Amino acid sequence: MAFGKTQTGGLARLSDEDNHGYLYAHLSSLAYKPLLGMSPKSWYKMPAKATVVSYRAPKYELGPINLFDKNVRTIDSMKKELKRAKNDSTIDGILLVNPSYGTSFALMQELIEAFRDFKESGKHISVYYDNISNGGYIFSASIADKIYLNPTGMLDLRGIAIASPYLRDLLDSVGVEPINLRSHKYKNAGNMFSESEMTEAEREVYESLLDSIYEQVLASIETGRGDRLIKPIAELVDEGPYVIAQEALDAGLVDKLIYQDELKGELKKDFSFSKERKEMANYHNYEWAKPKENLIAVIYASGNIVMGKGKAGQKIAHQTTVDLIRKARKDPKYKGIILRVDSGGGSAQASDIILRELELAKKENNMPIVVSMAGSAASGGYYIAANADKIVADGTTLTGSIGVIGLAFNASELFKKVKVNWSTVKKGEHADLGALHRPMRDSEKNILESMIEHTYDDFIGIVADGRGMSKDEVHEIAQGRVWTGAQAKDIGLVDALGGMATSRI
């Protein structure tokens, strides 16, 4: 909760033996105490290379991210760093040199908003590049007062695209038959195996997604530096990439062509600032109070949804996640839950068990539930969000995909080619259902299709109840189709656009 510049809450970690997830809230009165003698009007040279994620496991855990985690940062940590710089009276601007933030479009939007919030305090942002990537330009043009480019550099501005491989012809050539059991034509996760090229339904979805994302990208650049461009940004993108730096300058896409050793002089000339700082002073005095009551539990759900227990940042294990929700709902200190979802889905059963625990928090503990969607909250990722009191997504979050898929393979022809023979002894008509060495029987396919149909019907029923729609209305926007957050808001799958700051209880 926040009243003016006073924040209330408490800071607490909620975890189990698998160290999965955190619960925290802020219960403090922040007293800003700048040290005497600090030099005013300085530039903060902010670390500019990182993979930005919605959540990461603690450093002492082993995992695919933490083995090489020097440049992995959470979006929350970057927002906090920018807020500190904003409130630091001795910092008047941020300098980024060759920034490279690897992340999703959705988290990039949150990062852009955080930098813009810094600028709203009257401070400045300058960016220097030797060469500018496509994504780097989208980011920098959205936030920077000045973009400096090396005179021999290039601007690789060229739009956005989706390319997907299709393996059907390869599988046919080696004797493997893919069996793509999807609930509807838009549920296309298995298409790379079952198709020889992009289907009309796939193309329809991809074009719709790109239209929405591209519109937001162009709007972001236009907001950042539209007044300096010589023509509409869409036309400038079509004329890219700019392999000659002077062409980028002439188009108004960058502000000056300089070498990096000239940067300090240009900053002094453009903004009258000369002092560079690579670290912020630790000048805030935070007086934290102990957690007492009315706290908000923030639970991170990142990765593939699976049954069992697991590590945070790697997967959403149902038992680990349920334990976190249960611990929060049974602790009287907590008055609500924010579930931060970044997942493309996974196990339908695991998703349903997690959803049930969230429903119990609402019914038995009268706790409001807010879902904040990060890069993706699709399929099972949307399922666990469906019954929330409020769903918040970034404009380019990939969500929806309300559908079901099953994928199987028949490798009988492959085994013939490599001279492998199979013999089976069984008791029970369907004891060897799913066997690779023979074609799937119609009766077996009927069993799987019935399961998929039943699961889909349950799925749209869950969404209908949570979103106040009829099942027919949900079906019209479901059928496995993926939407951006902006599109999802228009069709009623999302309540508001924004990041964690918008996801308040």
Secondary structure of residue 124 in the 3-state scheme? strand
121 domain residue, yes or no: yes
Neighbouring residues of 258: CB distance < 8 A, sequence distance ≥ 6: 128, 148, 149, 150, 151, 266
DSSP-assigned beta bridge partners for residue 305: 316, 346
Give the active site residue among 142, 379, 401, 503.
Answer: 379
51 domain residue, yes or no: yes
The full length of the chain comes to 505
pLDDT of residue 173: 96
CA distance 389 to 387: 7
Pairing label, strands 398-400, 482-484: antiparallel
pLDDT of residue 405: 92
The strand ranges marked E within 75-188 are 91-97, 100-102, 124-129, 146-149, 177-182
Give the active site residue among 187, 311, 335, 489.
Answer: 187
Question: What is the span of the domain harbouring residue 131?
Answer: 34-158+240-282
CA distance 338 to 55: 14
88 domain residue, yes or no: yes
Instruction: With beta carbons less than 8 A apart as the criterion, state whether 303 and 343 touch.
Output: yes
Instruction: With beta carbons less than 8 A apart as the criterion, state whether 50 and 99 touch.
Output: no
54 domain residue, yes or no: yes
Pairing label, strands 42-45, 91-97: parallel
How many domains does the chain contain in total?
A: 1
| Average pLDDT per 10 consecutive residues for the chain, totaling 505 residues | 38 39 38 43 87 73 46 91 91 94 94 96 96 97 97 97 95 95 92 96 96 97 97 97 98 97 89 71 49 86 94 87 95 95 95 97 96 96 97 97 94 94 91 91 93 96 97 97 98 96 86
Instruction: Identify the burial level of 5 via C-beta atoms within 10 angstroms of its C-beta, where 0-12 means exposed, 13-18 middle and 19 or more buried.
Output: exposed
120 domain residue, yes or no: yes
265 domain residue, yes or no: yes
CA-angle at 444, arms to 438 and 446, nearest 5°? 140
pLDDT of residue 367: 96
Residue 132 gets the label, from left (phi > 0), alpha (psi -120 to 50) or beta, of beta
Q: What is the CATH number of the domain that holds 148?
A: 3.90.226.10
Q: Is 187 among the catalytic positions?
A: yes
pLDDT of residue 285: 44
What would the two tokens of residue 165 be? 């491989």
Q: Is 503 among the catalytic positions?
A: no
5 DSSP 8-state letter: T
Give the 3-state DSSP-derived string for 482-495, with helices as H, strands as E and coil as C.
Answer: EEEHHHHHHHCCCC
Rounded to 10 degrees, the C-alpha dihedral 183/188/190/196 comes to 120
Instruction: With beta carbons less than 8 A apart as the criterion, state whether 90 and 110 touch.
Output: no
CA-angle at 102, arms to 96 and 107, nearest 5°? 95
197 domain residue, yes or no: no
**Residues 15-44: b if buried by 16+ CB within 10 A, e if exposed:** beebbbbbbbbbbeeeeeeeeeeeeeebbb
501 domain residue, yes or no: no
The letter for the amino acid at 151 is P
Sign of CA dihedral 428, 433, 436, 440: positive
The letter for the amino acid at 316 is I
What would the two tokens of residue 376 be? 């993706």
Peptide bond into 34 cis (omega under 30): no
pTM of the full predicted structure? 0.85
